[in-house]
Structure 1
Amino acid sequence: MQKHRKKKQYRKIIIGVSALGIVGVPTAAMACFDTGGDDTGRTRTVSHQAQRPWQYQPSGSPDLMVPVDVPTAPSSPAAPAQPVEETSRPAQTQPPQAEPPQAQPPQAAPRPAKPPVTKQPQAPQPPKTSPAPAPAASGSVAAVLALVNQERAAAGCQAVTLNAKLTKAAQDHSADMAAHSNMSHTGSDGSDPGTRITRAGYAWSTYGENVAYGYSTPEKVMEGWMNSPGHRENILNCSFKEIGIGLAQPNHYWTQNFGTAR
């Protein structure tokens, strides 16, 4: 059995390489770790608050018309009595004068009807979005996840949860390695782990990556990783909160992507 360790420095990323010889099956593993350029592994947070003022003021009620009494016109003065001439003709009497009609007070104007109140249509509210549920682990992925959390529990670390974006980054890298028969932390397009994790949509404050090939079962690849100081350090790093796991064929190319979101 031979072991080989190679250190490669980029953006303060420590890469360790170890190889384990199994009869008839070539196996190898590599590990890298990045704290985002800060050896203390501090996280960055971003907060955002927004306020939208609003106000509403109702319109005034329409004025009401108030009836006004109009004084009654005074009746005409009575005409003076005419003297009666003493003649042989019979006395004539004046016909009664018709009384002028009395003025009627003006009627109150009808109260104008209130215009109907039209409610402004409310803008449709965007549907509430909930965080994407963690993908359900199955098969080899579920087995590796269980073994990782078993080792973390023994070391006093919190269990990591499977993250869909980290899983996509891990699976894409495993497929890329298998397609080019090349185990490396550098993708065929020249990408490093941080670039691939970011490209998958994961906003990280720190991350780590383990890769391996040739191990046919989850138990064997985990044994190989735990026997390598660099890989073991990633698996037992208590600052990591989430994980993505990928496996591609042929030749069993494995990827673990650990991360802590900003």
Structure 2
Amino acid sequence: MGRIGSPVVAVIRRLIGAVFSLLSLLVFVALLLGLLWSASLMGLVDTSEVDQPVVEDVVEPPEWFIDSPFVWEVPAQEEGGEPPEVDPDAEPAEGDPGTTSEGDVSSDEVEAEIHAQVNEIRAEHGLSELDHDDEIAGIARTHSQDMNERDYFSHTNPEGESPADRFGDLHPSECRAVGENLAYIQTGIGSGGSAEEIAERIVQGWMDSEGHRENILRDGWDSEGIGVYMDDGRVDATQKFCTTT
């Protein structure tokens, strides 16, 4: 009987050993999966490329781009805010209004002074000068006119258009990222204020504001357009930035 039972015992022992090996493997796999799950929760494993959808035809922002209320990309990282309330009888501005003036001061003189002062400030900080883009200036001028005539002051117009929306086909086809600064003053026109003095007040106001200052001193911008609209002692200025790199 002993000779007959020995092979059976050996087979049983091997089966038991195989079962224990399989159980050990399953335990090891379970522990490994548990560790990976824990690491994912702790941020040690990057799963962003697994569960994030791919969106085509969206331009990635440049490396220098940082999110702020004054800078937009496509899609907009920050909305310009709620559409403002305006005079219901006022019509929205359409197209570049061209040059406006108050007294002896013209809007194109103020625009040129703002552009010169901005580049002077950038040079003082070791930054390259911005090119002036006439097409972007026309877009900026239209927004300044719209704010002036419909009596509001906002990056978002009453129809809900954001600064990026106003760039139209220029963004993102030509402008990879865009920015916008606004200014509004009511004094200095018709009372001895020169174009240089008006521009200085506007630029100084931007430099005294952290977000506007960051826009002016961004190294990544290539060009800008300044749009000024003047009427009845009120001056509205829109500064729009563009980068193509």
Query: How does the TM-score come out when normalised to structure 2?
Result: 0.52
Alignment equivalent of 1:227, drawn from 208, 216, 219: 208
Pick the structure with more strand per residue.
1
Query: Structure 1 counterpart of 2:71, which letter?
Result: F
Compute the displacement of 1:199 (Å).
4.8
* Alpha-carbon separation, structure 2, partners of 1:247 and 1:184: 15
* Alpha-carbon separation, structure 2, partners of 1:37 and 1:177: 24
- Are the structure 2 counterparts of residues 222 and 168 from structure 1 closer, same or farther at C-alpha, using a change threshold of 3 Å? same
TM-superposition CA deviations, 1:182-229 (whole Å, max 9, x none): 010012321100010125677310111000111641010111110000
* Alpha-carbon separation, structure 1, partners of 2:203 and 2:76: 28
Map 1:1-262 → 2, pairs under 5 A: 14-15=68-69, 32-36=70-74, 138-199=108-169, 203-214=174-185, 216=188, 217-250=198-231, 251-261=234-244
- Are the structure 2 counterparts of residues 182 and 190 from structure 1 closer, same or farther at C-alpha, using a change threshold of 3 Å? same
Give the secondary-structure state (helix, strand or coil) at the position aligned to 1:191: coil
Query: Structure 1 counterpart of 2:239, which letter?
Result: Q
* Alpha-carbon separation, structure 2, partners of 1:38 and 1:183: 20
Paired positions, count = 138
* Alpha-carbon separation, structure 2, partners of 1:38 and 1:194: 7
- Are the structure 2 counterparts of residues 175 and 194 from structure 1 closer, same or farther at C-alpha, using a change threshold of 3 Å? same
* Alpha-carbon separation, structure 1, partners of 2:134 and 2:109: 16
Give the secondary-structure state (helix, strand or coil) at the position aligned to 2:227: strand
* Alpha-carbon separation, structure 2, partners of 1:138 and 1:212: 16
* Alpha-carbon separation, structure 1, partners of 2:161 and 2:137: 17
Compute the displacement of 1:261 (Å).
2.6
Query: Structure 2 counterpart of 1:219, which letter?
Result: E
Contact 2:76–2:164 under 8 Å retained in 1: no
Query: Structure 2 counterpart of 1:228, which letter?
Result: S
Query: Structure 2 counterpart of 1:244, which letter?
Result: G
* Alpha-carbon separation, structure 2, partners of 1:261 and 1:169: 17
Give the secondary-structure state (helix, strand or coil) at the position aligned to 2:144: helix
Compute the displacement of 1:35 (Å).
4.1
* Alpha-carbon separation, structure 1, partners of 2:141 and 2:212: 18
* Alpha-carbon separation, structure 2, partners of 1:182 and 1:211: 12
Q: Which has the larger radius of gyration?
A: 1
Compute the displacement of 1:165 (Å).
1.8
Query: Structure 2 counterpart of 1:180, which letter?
Result: R
- Are the structure 2 counterparts of residues 177 and 200 from structure 1 closer, same or farther at C-alpha, using a change threshold of 3 Å? farther
- Are the structure 2 counterparts of residues 138 and 177 from structure 1 closer, same or farther at C-alpha, using a change threshold of 3 Å? closer
- Are the structure 2 counterparts of residues 189 and 204 from structure 1 closer, same or farther at C-alpha, using a change threshold of 3 Å? same
- Are the structure 2 counterparts of residues 138 and 172 from structure 1 closer, same or farther at C-alpha, using a change threshold of 3 Å? closer
Runs (5+) with no aligned partner, structure 1: 1-11, 16-31, 40-136
* Alpha-carbon separation, structure 1, partners of 2:67 and 2:149: 25
* Alpha-carbon separation, structure 2, partners of 1:222 and 1:242: 17
- Are the structure 2 counterparts of residues 186 and 164 from structure 1 closer, same or farther at C-alpha, using a change threshold of 3 Å? same
Query: Structure 1 counterpart of 2:181, which letter?
Result: N
Pick the structure with more helix per residue.
2
TM-superposition CA deviations, 1:161-188 (whole Å, max 9, x none): 1102211110010011011110100123
